Structure 1
Amino acid sequence: MKSFASAQRVCFVAHIASLIFGLAGLLLVLPHPEFIAQLPDIGRTAFSWSMVGGGAVYMISGAAAVAIYAYRQLGLWHWLSFMIPALAVSLSAELLGTSTGFPFGEYHYLTGLGYKIAGLVPFTIPLSWFYLGFSAYLIAYLGFRKVTKGWLAEMGAILMGSVLLTAWDFVLDPAMSQTTMPFWAWDQAGAFFGMPYQNFVGWFGTGFVYMSIATLLWRAQPKYWLESSLVEPSASGLPLGLPLGIYLSNFAFAMLISIDGEIYPPILLGLLLGVLPLMGLYRLATGKEPTAQHFQLTDPQFTDPQLTNPQLVDTQLVDTQTLARVAASAKAAE
């Protein structure tokens, strides 16, 4: 597993580095063509390549980092049962949107984001739906598990995860379509900085659909530390630093481009509906219960074999149905 941890770290660092490099190119270099003209041939070639393929690099590295994280921390089932619906639903929505205008409005992609599937949607776009959606959903999921459980927690995670995803688009869409170097263009006039309000309804709906599918699939093979609110993520071996870093770094990337384009109201909306709730849910998910009394589960039937850390459970929060499900799963695996 150490090799996976190293690969995750490399991909995350590459993701952050490509975001920073992209910002430098878009905000500092591109507005000054005289600087580009003074570069040696290799420098101009590198800059030209970065403008053509840099967007693809940051999305591929981000998706790889989150995929490895999901596999390491949640296991193969929980990783694939989120990623596959996210990729399939988002690609279908994007292909439908670029062909018919539903559900986002009429738009088309330009260059700089990689090969276009069916000549319409860059293959990297579904990857961004996956890694940002997963990061938002997981933090919301574990946050809501601390205050409730059952279908209420699941519905709260789906709704809040979709809101966090849409809040990111408040700053992303203006940054990517209304500034110096656009990556897509709107074919219909919209009231929200050139974009139709329908776009955000489409974002929320797309996120809601694939997060709902993932929730149902996760329910089919529950892990007891995800299925109930009886452990803290830190005790379960589930750190949330990477999902938090993915969301905040991508939000900051779009926010800085929007600031450069003097597009301010979407930033405020994104902060209010995205960053602030995210930080609250993160604190809720990782905060300690002040009166919790924990014991170590030494009985093999309650030990998750995919995790190397000892599993700690709050005796005040354990319910018999959850323990019965854990025991039944363990016996079925024997």
Structure 2
Amino acid sequence: MKTSAWSFTVLHGLALCLGLFGLLVAIPHPELWAGQPAAMAFFAFALGKTGGTGMVLGAIAMLAYGGWALGWRRTLIFFAAATIISATAELTGTKTGWPFGGYEYTEFLGAKLLGRVPFAIPLSWFYMAFASFVLADAIVTARGGTNRTLWSIVLGTWLLTAWDLVLDPSMAAPQMQYIHFWVWHEHGPYFGMPLRNLAGWFGTGLLFIAVGRLAWNERTTPLPPVAIPFAVYAINVVWSMILSISAGMWPTAIAALLLSLAPAALALRARTPRAFA
């Protein structure tokens, strides 16, 4: 199971890299594939299939990791809480503008739930939140003290929300002339994004991380290895950073580095239990 988790983590990273290639090379430079059927087919795949596929692979990677490191019961409980609650929030958001603000998904991420939210989106909430929680739990445990579960939930929510500091601006940047993953129907002060989107992220993440963890009904849990969740987390943050930098939004990349990656990396200092070595 450990090998499967690592394999899907690598495939997840490759899919995101291929999608990044499509966004930054294939679309802006159509002359590279004009008149070449093989190149055209490759670029079309990179553009049209890797976005949603990358999210599916990320979810499979974290499911495999969770099954190996924390057990299937805990993992599937967290998966159910994350996907159901996030899908509900996204469906509500695309219908009413609450809690994230007024926005609408484009067709780039594939088939949609009720025609509004791509099926892959709740999966991305799951794998990034699960990775964030595991990393947070390692950090909190290493520091010692009381209320481990509470602080792990809060810090995990912060790591998830900090990712959005670079994710949302990069995925819907007006500077990205060629494609947007979603579009905003209202303007906000944070690179065009309304600030209530961050509040919505924190609230949604806090709700399903708390439900997913507390439903385990355990006071303490094992401290699993963190290399795989850190790899998944870092891949996604760096991917968004590259996209933001390409759009000229350096401040969001710096914010992600300082408020997202740097805190998450503290988890790597936690001792790995021998049972999982």
C-alpha distance 66-277 of structure 1, shift in aligned 2 (>3 A): same
Deviations 1:77-135 (A, max 9, x none): 11011111000111011000000000000000001212100000000000000000100
Deviations 1:45-66 (A, max 9, x none): 2322321221011101111010
Match of 1:164 among 152, 156, 159: 159
- The number of equivalent residue pairs is 274
Q: Which residue of 1 aligns with 2:240?
A: 254
Matched residue of 2:110: which SS?
coil
| Kept after mapping to 2: 8 A contact 1:54/1:112 | no
Once the two structures are TM-superposed, the CA of residue 10 in structure 1 deviates from its matched residue by 2.5
Q: Which residue of 1 aligns with 2:225?
A: 239
Instruction: Give the residue type in structure 2 aligned to 1:159.
Output: V
The two structures have a TM-score, normalised by structure 2, of 0.93
- Is 1:202–2:197 an aligned residue pair? no
Matched residue of 1:20: which SS?
helix
The two structures have a TM-score, normalised by structure 1, of 0.78
| Kept after mapping to 2: 8 A contact 1:191/1:197 | yes
Please list every run of at least 4 consecutive aligned residues from structure 1 whose deviation after the TM superposition is greater than 6 angstroms: none
C-alpha separation in 1, matches of 2:204 and 2:88: 10
Q: Which residue of 1 aligns with 2:144?
A: 148
Instruction: Give the residue type in structure 1 aligned to 2:126.
Output: F
- Is 1:46–2:42 an aligned residue pair? yes
* Unmatched 5+ stretches in structure 1: 227-232, 289-308, 313-334
Match of 1:280 among 252, 266, 270: 266
- Is 1:217–2:215 an aligned residue pair? yes
Matched residue of 2:203: which SS?
helix
* Unmatched 5+ stretches in structure 2: none
- Is 1:9–2:6 an aligned residue pair? yes
- Is 1:18–2:11 an aligned residue pair? no
Identity, % of aligned positions: 36
Once the two structures are TM-superposed, the CA of residue 23 in structure 1 deviates from its matched residue by 1.5
Matched residue of 1:37: which SS?
coil
CA RMSD, aligned part only? 2.0
Instruction: Give the residue type in structure 2 aligned to 1:64.
Output: I
Q: Which residue of 2 aligns with 1:115?
A: 111
Once the two structures are TM-superposed, the CA of residue 250 in structure 1 deviates from its matched residue by 0.5
| Kept after mapping to 1: 8 A contact 2:105/2:181 | yes
Match of 2:255 among 260, 269, 275: 269
C-alpha separation in 1, matches of 2:197 and 2:263: 22
